[in-house]
């Protein structure tokens, strides 16, 4: 281990997760194409002279949907995740038998750039504490990767976490941030590993954001000081995160701390390199510390990738969402439509209510296509409605991301209990999985639907627009002045959820790689609660991470 890790002190390296659910959308159906081409990613890292520490899980946490585990594991409702439950282990082994043969030829021992592989992730923080599960993983990793590669675990730097998270045959490492005492933290590691390198596998340079909370902000000075303390001890450090990221589409996870807390689309993490890859003050503070321990690369720092403010883009409302949605059958990730009819005349407002834990996670309620309001998990679960017998009651149900940490992460989605009207349960529901992404990737609704006349009406609706770039396709950030909450696609690429009313992020990052030059870029927005009368988007050349809704002109149009 010392040779390996001291090597990494001489060579730049990247530590990277492999999210199982990103590659196996259905049991036995694997996807390693495009952004999912793990081998191309590893080969590119090798071309760039980067060594790799790989973290294939199978559980990875990372505020990623269900911590990287595929939701279809929950088809067995009583499955015990991250344990030696035979149903869980069978799925894990099938997956590892597909992934690890792609990794083995790229191991350092075989002339590749992968110097070590992490098994599981902070297992010591999980209630199951099942050593036969870790033993099974060790056996599978060894069988598929061979006897030489360094296998390790990572756990919080507390002895009680290391107790369940470590195993003979897996080198124990710890993770902690700048607010921890370095000596105490490594003391916990030494409790398990009396010899071998001191390793902080996740030195927290920032932190994650939840919708409705503040954007994380960790002092550059504090981060730099903690790094200096560790390097002074001769420790090995991986910074988490060194480069911020984005939870595109529906990939963001959630936490459960007494109540459900969904994570934002942006995973900027207040990292030294931002979500868009731009250097920050924190990067230079870290660089200064490292220069005290080893020579820095010669030459100037690479400049940030160019950004461009494409400006205002007008959108047009197309037919209200639900008229269109019911024709989108297929595999749903983000949205389901639940439809029934009022069983009787409701001439005076009646209470439509949801039982506890039944709305997972937000339900947009329409009666005769008129928006009535939003039911939300651990929030508002009652609405007043009135109408006639036979009126159509629709609930568009949104998945806001599966819990990715802790014991409650068998996180089922949908309308999990029956709604009632004045305490009398409703029945005869029709359920539509909405394969919106597949339809949008095939050009819907740009060509398919006429512009709608009913501007500004509240409730779920699709909006479309196009814009051309001035001959370049640079990164940009899109702002939603006056919009409420929804989902954005450009050229069929799902850029994630926006929720300016909730914040903290007010813009979505748009990588230049998904933009087109010389032909229109198609924008599709699914607004869930209410768009502005003049539906514009504003493309900026900088992000707005931490801004409550102000009354600046940018927010009011
Ligand atoms: C006190 C920390 C407990 C949870 N661990 C976290 S929160 C942010 C990071 C990422 O989730 C990362 O994937 C975890 O390994 C460690 N960590």
Asked if the domains 13-291 and 311-316+437-540 are classified in one and the same CATH topology, the answer is: no
Q: Rounded to an integer, what distance in angstroms lies between the CA atom of residue 432 and that of residue 413?
A: 14
Contacts of 26 (CB under 8 A, 6+ apart): 72, 331
Q: What is the CATH number of domain 13-291?
A: 3.20.20.80
Digit-coded pLDDT (tens) for 27-51? 999 999 999 999 999 999 999 999 9
Q: Rounded to an integer, what distance in angstroms lies between the CA atom of residue 393 and that of residue 415?
A: 14
Q: Is the CB of 121 under 6 A from ligand 1?
A: yes
What is the pLDDT, as a whole number, of residue 557?
Answer: 38
Crossing angle (nearest 10°) for helices 220-232 and 281-291: 20
What is the pLDDT, as a whole number, of residue 442?
Answer: 84
Q: Please compute the mean of the pLDDT values over residues 391-414 and round it to a whole number.
A: 95
Quick check: 203 and 185 in contact, CB under 8 A?
no
The token pair that represents 126 in the structure block: 């999980």
Q: Which among 265, 154, 130 is positioned nearest to 208, based on CA atoms?
A: 265
Q: Rounded to an integer, what distance in angstroms lies between the CA atom of residue 14 and that of residue 19?
A: 16
Quick check: 8 and 154 in contact, CB under 8 A?
no
Digit-coded pLDDT (tens) for 214-249? 999 999 999 999 999 999 999 999 999 999 999 999
**pLDDT tier at 448, thresholds 50, 70, 90:** low
Residue 399 has pLDDT above 90, yes or no: yes
Digit-coded pLDDT (tens) for 349-361? 999 999 999 999 9
What is the pLDDT, as a whole number, of residue 556?
Answer: 43
pTM over 0.90: yes
What is the pLDDT, as a whole number, of residue 458?
Answer: 85
What is the pLDDT, as a whole number, of residue 6?
Answer: 34
The Cβ of residue 97 has, within 10 Å, a number of other Cβ atoms equal to: 12
Catalytic residue from among 24, 63, 120, 122: 122
Q: Rounded to an integer, what distance in angstroms lies between the CA atom of residue 111 and that of residue 99?
A: 19
Break the chain into its structural domains and give their ranges: 13-291, 311-316+437-540, 327-434
Q: Rounded to an integer, what distance in angstroms lies between the CA atom of residue 523 and that of residue 476?
A: 14
Q: Rounded to an integer, what distance in angstroms lies between the CA atom of residue 189 and that of residue 200?
A: 9
Residue 369 has pLDDT above 80, yes or no: yes
The token pair that represents 538 in the structure block: 């504003």
What is the pLDDT, as a whole number, of residue 8?
Answer: 44
* Ligand 1 nearest-atom number relative to CA 404: 11
Helices and strands (DSSP H and E) totals, the chain = 12, 31
Ligand 1 center from residue 62 Cα (angstroms): 6
Which CATH entry fits the domain spanning 327-434: 3.40.1350.10, 2.60.120.260, 3.30.499.10, 3.40.190.10?
2.60.120.260
Q: Please compute the mean of the pLDDT values over residues 316-331 and round it to a whole number.
A: 66
Ligand 1 center from residue 483 Cα (angstroms): 32
Q: Is the CB of 175 under 6 A from ligand 1?
A: yes
Q: Please say whether the dihedral angle defined by the alpha carbons of residues 81, 82, 84 and 88, taken in this order, is positive or negative.
A: positive
The token pair that represents 358 in the structure block: 């039944």
Quick check: 392 and 368 in contact, CB under 8 A?
yes
Q: Rounded to an integer, what distance in angstroms lies between the CA atom of residue 175 and that of residue 201?
A: 5
**pLDDT tier at 456, thresholds 50, 70, 90:** low
- Considering the chain, what is the average pLDDT of its residues? 93
* Residue 160 annotated in active site: no
Digit-coded pLDDT (tens) for 487-544? 999 999 999 999 999 999 999 999 999 999 999 999 999 999 999 999 999 999 999 9
What is the pLDDT, as a whole number, of residue 324?
Answer: 58
Class of domain 311-316+437-540: mainly beta
Q: Is the CB of 161 under 6 A from ligand 1?
A: no
The complex's ipTM works out to 0.98
* Ligand 1 nearest-atom number relative to CA 208: 8
Q: Is the CB of 122 under 6 A from ligand 1?
A: yes
Q: Is the CB of 155 under 6 A from ligand 1?
A: no
Q: Is 374 helix (H, G, I), strand (E, B) or coil?
A: strand
What is the pLDDT, as a whole number, of residue 7?
Answer: 37
* Residue 122 annotated in active site: yes
The Cβ of residue 557 has, within 10 Å, a number of other Cβ atoms equal to: 13
Q: Please compute the mean of the pLDDT values over residues 331-336 and round it to a whole number.
A: 85
Q: Rounded to an integer, what distance in angstroms lies between the CA atom of residue 328 and that of residue 361?
A: 21
Q: Please compute the mean of the pLDDT values over residues 68-92 and round it to a whole number.
A: 97
The Cβ of residue 86 has, within 10 Å, a number of other Cβ atoms equal to: 10
Q: Is 339 helix (H, G, I), strand (E, B) or coil?
A: strand
Quick check: 188 and 158 in contact, CB under 8 A?
yes
Catalytic residue from among 202, 275, 376, 529: 202
**Residue-by-residue DSSP string for 290-302:** HHTTSPPPSSPPP
Of 21 and 434, which is predicted with more confidence? 21
Digit-coded pLDDT (tens) for 246-298? 999 999 999 999 999 999 999 999 999 999 999 999 999 999 999 999 999 99
Q: Which among 490, 463, 448 is positioned nearest to 321, based on CA atoms?
A: 463
């Amino acid at each position: 281990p010392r040779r390996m890790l001291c090597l990494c002190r001489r060579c730049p390296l990247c530590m990277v997760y492999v999210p199982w659910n990103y590659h196996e959308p259905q049991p036995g159906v694997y996807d390693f194409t495009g952004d999912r081409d793990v081998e191309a990613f590893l080969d590119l890292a090798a071309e760039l002279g980067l060594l790799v520490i790989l973290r294939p899980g199978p559980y990875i946490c990372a505020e990623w949907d269900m911590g990287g585990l595929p939701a279809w594991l929950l088809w067995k409702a009583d499955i015990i995740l991250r344990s030696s439950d035979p149903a869980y282990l069978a799925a894990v082994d099938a997956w590892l038998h597909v992934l690890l043969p792609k990794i083995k030829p790229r191991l350092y021992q075989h002339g590749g750039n992968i110097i070590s592989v992490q098994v599981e992730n902070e297992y010591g923080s999980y209630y199951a504490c099942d050593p036969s599960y870790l033993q099974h993983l060790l056996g599978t990793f060894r069988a598929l990767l061979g006897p030489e590669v360094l296998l390790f675990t990572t756990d919080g730097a507390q002895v009680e976490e290391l107790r369940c998270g470590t195993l003979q045959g897996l080198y124990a490492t710890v993770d902690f941030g700048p607010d921890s005492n370095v000596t105490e933290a490594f003391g916990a590691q030494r409790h398990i590993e009396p010899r071998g390198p001191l390793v902080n596998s996740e030195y927290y340079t920032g932190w994650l954001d939840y919708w409705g909370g503040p954007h994380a902000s960790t002092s550059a000075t504090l981060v730099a000081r903690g790094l200096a303390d560790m390097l002074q001890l001769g420790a090995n450090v991986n910074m988490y995160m060194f480069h911020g990221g984005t939870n595109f589409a529906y990939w963001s996870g959630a936490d459960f701390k007494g109540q459900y807390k969904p994570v934002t689309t942006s995973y900027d993490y207040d990292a030294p390199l931002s979500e868009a890859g731009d250097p920050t003050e924190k990067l230079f503070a870290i660089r200064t510390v490292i220069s005290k321990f080893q020579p820095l690369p010669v030459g100037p720092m690479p400049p940030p990738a160019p950004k461009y403010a494409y400006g205002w883009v007008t959108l047009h409302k197309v037919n209200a969402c639900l008229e269109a949605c019911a024709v989108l059958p297929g595999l749903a990730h983000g949205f389901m439509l639940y439809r029934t009819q009022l069983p009787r005349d409701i001439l005076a407002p009646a209470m439509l209510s949801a039982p506890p834990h039944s709305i997972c996670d937000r339900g947009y309620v329409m009666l005769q296509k008129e928006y009535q309001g939003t039911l939300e998990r651990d929030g508002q679960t009652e609405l007043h409605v009135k109408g006639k017998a036979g009126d159509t009651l629709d609930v568009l149900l949104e998945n806001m991301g599966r819990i990715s940490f802790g014991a409650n992460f068998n996180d089922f989605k949908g309308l999990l209990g029956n709604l009632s009207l004045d305490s009398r349960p409703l029945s005869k529901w029709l359920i539509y999985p909405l394969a919106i992404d597949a339809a949008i990737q095939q050009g819907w609704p740009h060509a398919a639907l006429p512009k709608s006349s009913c501007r500004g009406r509240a409730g779920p609706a699709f909006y479309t627009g196009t814009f051309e770039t001035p001959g370049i396709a640079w990164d940009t950030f899109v702002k939603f002045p006056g919009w409420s909450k929804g989902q954005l696609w450009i050229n069929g690429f799902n850029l994630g959820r926006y929720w300016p009313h909730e914040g903290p992020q007010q813009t979505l990052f748009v990588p230049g790689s998904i933009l087109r030059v010389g032909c229109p870029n198609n924008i599709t927005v699914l607004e869930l609660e209410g768009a502005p009368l003049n539906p514009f988007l504003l493309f900026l050349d900088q992000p707005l991470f931490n801004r409550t809704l102000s009354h600046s002109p940018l927010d009011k149009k």
